[in-house]
Amino acid sequence: MSAGEDFVYDEASGEWISAADAAKASDVAAVEVRDSVGNRLADGDAVTLIKDLKVKGAGQVLKPGTVIRSIRLTGDDQEIDCRYEAIKGLVLRPSSSEALGAVDS
């Protein structure tokens, strides 16, 4: 350890690592999420559903053509947080990402 170097706690390993090493690890571990046609998704994108999407717990079905605005990638390849007027706290799972169509920025 050298004076003036920043360290962060890595919860996965339980060790203190340098901030530079943590930045490199986060770049490597970046999750890449794509829609049904292969476009890469990013935070803030708006997507259009291309098939029916059953929403568990809400008793609703979102129809094709429904626009989901302001998606947020969670860093977990299993979840995409998003906003929809009628459903609070909507989370899309990988099986439903097949239902995501064209990306609007």
CA distance 17 to 7: 5
Per-residue pLDDT for 79 more than 70?
yes
pLDDT digits (tens, 9 = 90+) for 14-73: 888 888 887 776 654 567 888 888 888 888 898 888 888 888 888 888 899 988 888 888
**Per-position DSSP letters for 73-86, written without gaps between them:** E-S-TT-EEEEETT
pTM of the model: 0.60
CA distance 93 to 78: 6
